């Protein structure tokens, strides 16, 4: 799109929003401060660099689109390509299996901060803060139960792994001068009916207590619940109730993965409920289609509502914004660019809502007036502000990133 067109449209939008009491220049600044933690695992369908084994743990990447990253250099190149097409500064979320293992097999109970030293340097070089995840899946000891396993050896193995991951996150946080957000998700559950729900949950609770006993200053702990996993459909040890209670009792951060709820349940509605009891929230923004299918994030109603609820709660600074999807059926750079830009668009639309005016109407009982603004905000020219944001950040406006990704596919991805 022509630059002057973007500027002209922005000027008009700015005036229209000013009539509603919204300063779009301020919104642009706020959006600049909005950092998404991009998940490294979209680049290679959650493969990682530890072994060439199958993806297990009840999660699944579908599709076999050519060109996935096969090693650290390719993954880093892909991330940088994607980032060059996304406005703003963003973080990168690493799983333990993406360590720099130097071609050697480093087991999960042996991993050390040194395996992430080159990532730390890469992050510094490219202005990218890092976040972290322990990895319970895709390992011979994953089975159906890891931290909730009654077998002491297996449980201790995973406790050791998770403790080491926290130490790595601490080192990353220290090195980047900003807390490293570490997410803990384990797949533990049962395929069949079970009479041991209480037992497994009490073991998981004890494992978490042991893991979190060590206090750190440069990392933050998030715990992610779930509805079910593939092959683990009957019971999930780390359910939402379990982790919500644990987070509230222990001051931990619950992770809301938007793919992890009953299809009619609203993740957005959890924001105001949880934030009255827990310090912060972590998001895994995804797009479930009928199940936790990990489709690419788009600007859909549930995501718009989620971000709107955060802004309405005045909680912008209390939320960590991660993405979590793995679509192997389309160009993976495209998947990053669409998903990250969609999250930003949702945040823009949340920031640009005339919330204060609506709140006033509502508190005075002027409900039709408020409903009018709900409707009007949908058709206000927010897209002109979005285009302006892309222009300001020197990245393609609108769909102009398509040829760039096609070129990268031709020149790089198709040669893999
Ligand atoms: C799985 C969880 C978890 C994973 C990643 C790879 O259901 O959403 O966050 O997707 O850790
Ligand atoms: Zn997740």
Q: How many domains does the chain have?
A: 1
* Ligand 1 atom closest to the CA of 226, numbered from 1: 7
185: annotated active-site residue = yes
387: annotated active-site residue = no
114: annotated active-site residue = no
Q: Of residues 78, 257, 280, 387, which has the active-site annotation?
A: 257
Q: Cite the DSSP H helix spans in 217-300.
A: 240-250, 270-274
Q: Of residues 226, 270, 295, 345, which has the active-site annotation?
A: 226
Supply the residue whose CA is at minimum distance from atom 7 of ligand 1: 59
Residue 359 belongs to some domain of the structure: no
Instruction: List ligand 1's pocket residues with C-beta within 6 A.
Output: 41, 46, 59, 133, 185, 224, 226, 257, 284, 292, 324
Question: For position 52, what pLDDT does the model report?
Answer: 85
Say if CB 93 and CB 40 are below 8 A apart: yes
Beta bridge partners of 133: 95, 183
DSSP code of 232?
A: B
- Cα separation, 120 vs 131, whole angstroms: 10
Cα angle, residue 375 at apex, residues 369 and 376 outer, rounded to 5°: 85
In angstroms, what is the span from residue 294 Cα to ligand 2's centroid?
9
Q: CA of 339: how far to CAs of 81, 95, 223, in Å?
A: 14, 19, 23
Output the DSSP codes for 134-187. Answer: ---SSSTTTSS-STT-SSHHHHHHHHHHHHHHHHHHHHHHHHHTS-EEEEE---
Residue 106 belongs to some domain of the structure: yes
Indicate the top mutation candidate among 185, 189, 322 to test ligand 1's pocket, ranked by most ligand atoms within 8 A of CB.
Answer: 185
CA atoms within 13 Å, Cβ hemisphere of 49 = 24
Question: For position 278, what pLDDT does the model report?
Answer: 98
Q: CA of 316: how far to CAs of 30, 88, 383, 385, in Å?
A: 10, 16, 21, 19
In angstroms, what is the span from residue 43 Cα to ligand 1's centroid?
14
Element (H, E) at 210: helix 197-212
DSSP code of 55?
A: P
3: annotated active-site residue = no
257: annotated active-site residue = yes
Residue 130 belongs to some domain of the structure: yes
Residue 318 belongs to some domain of the structure: yes
In angstroms, what is the span from residue 305 Cα to ligand 1's centroid?
22
In angstroms, what is the span from residue 178 Cα to ligand 2's centroid?
22
Q: Is 37 helix (H, G, I), strand (E, B) or coil?
A: strand
Residues that place a CB less than 5 A from ion ligand 2: 257, 284, 324
Q: Which domain holds residue 58?
A: 35-354
Residue 5 belongs to some domain of the structure: no
Residue 120 belongs to some domain of the structure: yes
- Cα separation, 295 vs 331, whole angstroms: 13
Phi, psi of 187 (to 5 degrees): -85, 0
295: annotated active-site residue = no
Q: Is 253 helix (H, G, I), strand (E, B) or coil?
A: strand
Q: Which ligand approaches the C-alpha of residue 226 most closely?
A: 1
In angstroms, what is the span from residue 212 Cα to ligand 2's centroid?
20
Question: For position 276, what pLDDT does the model report?
Answer: 98
Question: For position 354, what pLDDT does the model report?
Answer: 98
Residue 24 belongs to some domain of the structure: no
First to last CA, the chain: 33
Give me the tens of pLDDT residue by residue for the chain, a chain 416 residues long. Answer: 689 999 999 999 999 999 999 999 999 999 999 999 999 999 999 999 998 899 999 999 999 999 999 999 999 999 999 999 999 999 999 999 999 999 999 999 999 999 999 999 999 999 999 999 999 999 999 999 999 999 999 999 999 999 999 999 999 999 999 999 999 999 999 999 999 999 999 999 999 999 999 999 999 999 999 999 999 999 999 999 999 999 999 999 999 999 999 999 999 999 999 999 999 999 999 999 999 999 999 999 999 999 999 999 999 999 999 999 999 999 999 999 999 999 999 999 999 999 999 999 999 999 999 999 999 999 999 999 999 999 999 999 999 999 999 999 999 999 99
In angstroms, what is the span from residue 324 Cα to ligand 2's centroid?
5
Q: Is 229 helix (H, G, I), strand (E, B) or coil?
A: strand
Residue 112 belongs to some domain of the structure: yes
* Ligand 1 atom closest to the CA of 41, numbered from 1: 6
In the numeric block, which tokens belong to residue 214? 């060590």
294: annotated active-site residue = yes
Would you say the C-alpha torsion 29, 34, 35, 36 has a positive or negative sign?
negative
Q: Is 41 helix (H, G, I), strand (E, B) or coil?
A: helix
Supply the residue whose CA is at minimum distance from atom 3 of ligand 1: 185
Output the domain CATH number for residue 189. Answer: 3.20.20.150
- Cα separation, 146 vs 124, whole angstroms: 34
């Amino acid at each position: 799109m022509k630059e002057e067109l973007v500027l002209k449209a922005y000027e008009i939008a700015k005036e229209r929003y000013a009539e509603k009491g919204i300063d779009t220049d301020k919104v642009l600044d706020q959006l600049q401060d909005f950092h998404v933690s991009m998940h490294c695992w979209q680049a290679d369908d959650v493969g990682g660099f530890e072994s060439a084994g199958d993806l297990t743990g009840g999660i699944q990447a579908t599709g076999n689109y050519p060109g996935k990253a096969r090693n650290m250099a390719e993954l880093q190149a892909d991330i940088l390509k994607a980032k060059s097409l996304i406005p703003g500064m963003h973080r990168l979320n690493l799983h333990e299996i993406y360590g720099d293992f130097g071609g050697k097999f480093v087991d999960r109970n042996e991993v050390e901060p040194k395996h992430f030293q080159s990532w730390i340097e890469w992050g510094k070089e490219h202005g990218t803060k890092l976040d972290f995840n322990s990895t319970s899946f895709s390992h011979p000891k994953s089975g159906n139960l890891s931290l909730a396993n009654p077998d002491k050896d297996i449980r201790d193995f995973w406790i050791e792994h998770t403790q080491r991951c926290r130490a790595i996150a601490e080192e990353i946080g220290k090195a980047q001068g900003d807390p490293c957000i570490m997410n803990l998700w384990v797949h533990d559950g049962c395929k069949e009916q079970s009479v041991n729900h209480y037992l497994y949950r009490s073991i998981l609770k004890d494992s978490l207590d042991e893991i979190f006993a060590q206090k750190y200053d440069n990392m933050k702990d998030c715990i992610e619940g779930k509805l079910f996993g593939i092959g683990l459909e009957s019971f999930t040890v780390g359910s939402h109730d379990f982790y919500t209670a644990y987070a509230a009792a222990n001051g931990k951060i619950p992770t809301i993965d938007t793919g992890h709820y009953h299809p009619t349940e609203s993740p957005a509605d959890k924001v105001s409920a949880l934030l009255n009891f827990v310090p912060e929230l972590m998001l895994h923004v995804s797009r479930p289609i009928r199940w936790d299918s990990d489709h690419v994030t788009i600007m859909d109603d549930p995501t718009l509502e989620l971000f709107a609820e955060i802004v309405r709660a005045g909680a912008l600074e209390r939320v960590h914004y991660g993405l979590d999807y793995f679509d192997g059926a389309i160009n993976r750079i495209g998947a990053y660019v669409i998903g990250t830009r969609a999250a930003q668009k949702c945040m823009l639309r949340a920031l640009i809502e005339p919330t204060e005016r609506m709140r006033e109407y509502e508190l005075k009982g002027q409900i039709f007036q408020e409903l009018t603004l709900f409707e009007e905000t949908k058709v206000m020219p927010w897209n002109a502000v979005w285009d302006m944001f892309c222009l300001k950040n020197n990245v393609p406006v609108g769909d102009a990133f398509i040829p760039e990704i096609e070129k990268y596919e031709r020149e790089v991805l198709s040669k893999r």
